[in-house]
Amino acid sequence: MEAMKTSRRILLAGLAGLAVAPSAAAAAPAPVADDTTVAEERFARMIAVAHAPDVTCARQAERYADAHWPEYVVAAKAVLNARA
């Protein structure tokens, strides 16, 4: 049951990133990892995993997230700020 909840969270995070990223990315420059909070980084990594080219392979999705999470910080910040 926990795997189902985790998959749903990743899917929803990915959808949130798709909904927010295009407009937020156009409005802000590339994010700097130094001013990113832990929550923003974790959420950005979750969005990156959902956008990985091969999400069926956990290792490849994690490697993609490790390499690309800074690209999703703007989307993560937008979603987290909208919830606040």
What pLDDT sits at residue 29?
45
pLDDT confidence of residue 26: 44
Q: pTM for the whole thing?
A: 0.57
Task: Give me the number of domains the chain comprises.
Answer: 1
Q: What is the pLDDT of residue 14?
A: 61
Gap between the terminal Cα atoms of the chain: 29
Q: What is the dihedral of CA 41, 46, 48, 51, to 10 degrees?
A: -160
Average pLDDT per run of 10 along the chain, which is 84 residues long?
A: 55 57 46 75 89 83 89 88 79
**CA neighbor of 28 nearest in space, from 79, 75, 82:** 75
**What pLDDT is stored for residue 82 in this prediction?**
85
Domain extent, residue 41, equals: 2-83
Would you state the pLDDT for residue 21? 47
